[in-house]
Chains A and B, each alone.
Chain A
Amino acid sequence: MEKPEKLIVDGRRLDGRAPDELRPLKIKAGVLERADGSAYVELGNNKVFAAVYGPREMHPRHDQQPDAAVLRCRYSMAPFSVEDRKKPGPDRRSMEISKVTKEALEPVLFLELYPRSVIDVFIEVLQADAGTRTAGINAAAVALADAGVPMRDLVSSVAVGKVEDTIVLDLIKEEDQFGTTDMPVAIIPRKKAITLLQMDGHFTKEEFKQALDLAFRGCEKIYEVQRQALKEKYAIKESG
């Protein structure tokens, strides 16, 4: 990828968005037949599926927890999802993302209701354009709800960052690669609690606070779309 001369021109980003604007977002619940719950998310050029299986018996059994279910997350990228072909299977990056995804979702689940069980969350990125971990978390939260797993709330996630000294919402690939800072965040919207926070680049304390504000606003919009997706599948429609 060539470095563009400027990432922000006249207050507009490469794809025409304002700094605080989200990419187009589509979420659909219940898109896979065999999974207990599933969801599909399109965030700009990102296309991501999530499937939930369980609660079901935990194998291998030595990984069982006697007093709670285990949440197991696997984030995976299809070999054709990025410009170069990605070698299939887990690498160090995807293993770390699987771990932070699990930790982002755990706080909303009542895992203590299902001792010795496992809840499996599988995330498959089919097309990637920065922000795949956040898209994966958004999809996984809807898929968990679709599976009927008891939850305190959904989890909503978005990345914020700094591009040419401007704090921006929902970075695209060019901004992620050539911008200064990338900070993926996930929150429990009703509780206003942060369950995922990673950051690399450079922020002063002030910029960090600004970026957090922007992330909260972005997550609230995503939360609405997630709820809408569940309502579309489950709300009782009036006939006639």
Chain B
Amino acid sequence: MEEIVSSVKRDYIIDLVKQGKRIDGRALDQLREVVVEKGVIKTANGSAKVKLGKTQVLVGVKLMHAEPFPDTPESGVLIVNAELLPLASPTFEPGPPRVEAIELARVVDRGIRESEAIDLDKLGIKPGEDVWSVFIDIDVLDHDGGLIDASALASIAALTDVKPPQDEDWKLPGFPLNRLPVAVTVAKIDGKLVVDPCLDEERVMDARLTITTIEDGSICSMQKGGRGYFTREELEQAYDLASAKAVELREKLR
């Protein structure tokens, strides 16, 4: 089921953005209120719930024994999965994952994988036979837009919460997390850029760009979405916005 919006509301949101305002009263470069709560699930090795405005996402991390990939016999495995649960939105339906859920999981995966946030080389147990697999499972509980940013933040928050498993094969003092990649999505609405679009804004946006940056401001992953386009100048502007906002979000991980 597709997200639809009335033309009255569409015009209203676009008119506001033209005046530098937003439907929820924020400035164009302002994030929604962010609440990060760690250690919310006892049965997971690490967990975090993120509230981004009215959006709620819960991430659980499980460390399990697994077989390594043949091309990296001594390295651990990272698997990210996202569920757009039917309880989170009238437009989410039960059934196999839709392309939106797949994209969400893959964008979060690339942010963590490409920044080398987790030192997977330290997660081998028995070369070629047994390694640690890091399962990051994203449960979307309430969808009011910004699922990529909320899920990426909840994932990295849950990773900072990982307690070593009670298992004789675990030899490390802690969980080998080296970096804190943070994703920030910038939406283009009627030619203007806004950070952290809410659902109403996502419904009317031309396009979005998610930029994941690490502590030094360099980029580890990007993903454009939506039917519209960006100009070069807009891309550079989007980078400046995303890297500045990532600093604010990273603060919330402490």
A198-B223 contact in complex given A96-B106, A99-B103, C-beta closer than 8 Å: yes
Q: Which residues of A contact B114 (CB under 8 A)?
A: 200-202
Q: Which of A100, A194, A198, A201 contacts B232 (CB 8 A)?
A: A194
Q: How far is the CA of A202 from the CA of B181 in the complex (A)?
A: 12
Does B42 lie at the interface of the complex (its beta carbon under 8 Å from any beta carbon of A)? no
Q: How far is the CA of A99 from the CA of B208 in the complex (A)?
A: 14
Q: Are A197 and B230 interface neighbours, CB within 8 A? A: yes
A197-B224 contact in complex given A202-B218, A212-B232, C-beta closer than 8 Å: yes
Chain B 212-254 near chain A by CB (<8 Å), digits 1 or 0:
0000011111111111111110011001000100000000000
| B residues 76-113 in Cβ contact with A at 8 Å | 99, 102-103, 105-106, 110, 113
| B residues 182-220 in Cβ contact with A at 8 Å | 207, 209, 217-220
| A residues 41-73 in Cβ contact with B at 8 Å | none
Q: Which residues of A contact B231 (CB under 8 A)?
A: 192-194
Q: Which residues of A contact B209 (CB under 8 A)?
A: 197
Q: How far is the CA of A208 from the CA of B219 in the complex (A)?
A: 8
Across the interface, name the chain B residue whose C-beta is closest to A183.
Answer: B222
Across the interface, name the chain A residue whose C-beta is closest to B229.
Answer: A193
Q: Are B220 and A202 interface neighbours, CB within 8 A? A: yes
Across the interface, name the chain B residue whose C-beta is closest to A98.
Answer: B99
Does A226 lie at the interface of the complex (its beta carbon under 8 Å from any beta carbon of B)? no
A103-B217 contact in complex given A209-B236, A212-B235, C-beta closer than 8 Å: no
Q: Which residues of A contact B221 (CB under 8 A)?
A: 199-201
Q: Which residues of B contact A200 (CB under 8 A)?
A: 110, 113-114, 220-222
Main secondary structure of the interface of B (DSSP, over half): mixed
Q: How far is the CA of A95 from the CA of B97 in the complex (A)?
A: 11
Range for the number of chain B residues in contact with chain A: 20 to 34
Q: Are A193 and B222 interface neighbours, CB within 8 A? A: no
Q: Are B226 and A198 interface neighbours, CB within 8 A? A: no
**Within the complex, what minimum Cβ distance (angstroms) separates B10 from chain A?**
13
Does A130 lie at the interface of the complex (its beta carbon under 8 Å from any beta carbon of B)? no
Does A34 lie at the interface of the complex (its beta carbon under 8 Å from any beta carbon of B)? no
Across the interface, name the chain A residue whose C-beta is closest to B97.
Answer: A92
Q: Which residues of B contact A99 (CB under 8 A)?
A: 99, 103, 225
Q: How far is the CA of A160 from the CA of B39 in the complex (A)?
A: 40
Does A239 lie at the interface of the complex (its beta carbon under 8 Å from any beta carbon of B)? no
Across the interface, name the chain A residue whose C-beta is closest to B211.
Answer: A199
Most chain A beta carbons < 10 A, residue from B102, B221, B224, B232:
B224
Q: Are B217 and A96 interface neighbours, CB within 8 A? A: no
Q: How far is the CA of A218 from the CA of B113 in the complex (A)?
A: 28
Q: Which residues of B contact A212 (CB under 8 A)?
A: 232, 235
**Within the complex, what minimum Cβ distance (angstroms) separates B69 from chain A?**
12
Q: How far is the CA of A201 from the CA of B235 in the complex (A)?
A: 18
Q: Which residues of A contact B239 (CB under 8 A)?
A: 205, 208
Does A135 lie at the interface of the complex (its beta carbon under 8 Å from any beta carbon of B)? no
**Within the complex, what minimum Cβ distance (angstroms) separates A42 from chain B?**
26
Q: Which residues of B contact A191 (CB under 8 A)?
A: 229
Q: How far is the CA of A198 from the CA of B222 in the complex (A)?
A: 5
Q: Are A204 and B228 interface neighbours, CB within 8 A? A: no
A203-B232 contact in complex given A95-B99, A99-B103, A103-B224, C-beta closer than 8 Å: no
Q: Are B235 and A194 interface neighbours, CB within 8 A? A: yes
Which residues on A are within 8 Å of B, measured CB to CB?
Answer: 92-93, 95-96, 98-100, 103, 106-107, 183, 188, 191-205, 208-209, 212, 216
- Apart from A200-B110, A202-B114, A205-B217: 19 A-B pairs, beta carbons within 8 A: A92-B106, A96-B103, A100-B223, A103-B225, A103-B227, A107-B229, A193-B230, A195-B224, A197-B230, A197-B235, A198-B223, A198-B224, A199-B222, A200-B114, A200-B221, A201-B114, A202-B115, A204-B218, A208-B239
Which residues on B are within 8 Å of A, measured CB to CB?
Answer: 99, 102-103, 105-106, 110, 113-115, 207, 209, 217-232, 235-236, 239, 243
A selection of 20 A-B contacts at a CB cut-off of 8 Å is A95-B99, A95-B102, A96-B103, A98-B99, A99-B99, A103-B225, A107-B229, A191-B229, A194-B232, A197-B224, A197-B235, A199-B222, A201-B220, A202-B218, A204-B217, A205-B217, A205-B218, A209-B236, A212-B232, A212-B235
